[in-house]
Each structure stands twice: as structure tokens, then as C-alpha cells.
Amino acid sequence: MIDERRHDGPYDRGSADAYYRRRFEPHYFKGATYSSEKVDRVDMTSEEIDQYTKGYEEQTDFKDWG
């Protein structure tokens, strides 16, 4: 089971990508963003991809680039 609350986990990365209106590209980081190992879609489990997708689709607040 994946902890949706983990910063930089699949759910968090999906939510962040949607917030910043980045394209749908499943990934996550094993630790801190950009300073730890990145796990790309090809190396993700189906559960991790599902969590990324859930985070992406549930995001309702978006960055105002104003």
C-alpha cells in the first residue's frame, strides 16, 4: 500500500504536475525532489501509476501564472 501523504511519492508528484499544469507523465522520487533517485513510468508498478493518476485527476487548485 502506498502512503498518499508521502512528499514526492506518486500521488504527490501527480498532484504537483496537475497544479503546475504540466503534462501527465507518471514518475516519483525515492526521497527529496530532484536530489534523489527519480522513478519513471517504465519502472513504476501499476499501483504507483494509479496513485500518480489519482493525484493528477483529484487536483482542483491550479497555479495562477497571472
- Confidence tier at 39 by pLDDT (50, 70, 90): very high
d(CA 66, CA 51): 30
Residue 11 has pLDDT above 90, yes or no: yes
The DSSP output letter for 55 is: H
d(CA 15, CA 56): 5
- Confidence tier at 2 by pLDDT (50, 70, 90): low
Nearest residue to 63 via CA among 12, 4, 17: 17
- How confident is the model over 12-38, as a mean pLDDT? 95
C-alpha 2 chain-centroid distance: 12
- How confident is the model over 40-51, as a mean pLDDT? 97
Record the pTM: 0.89
The mean pLDDT value of the chain amounts to 92
Task: List CB contacts of 61: < 8 A, sequence separation 6 or more.
Answer: 19
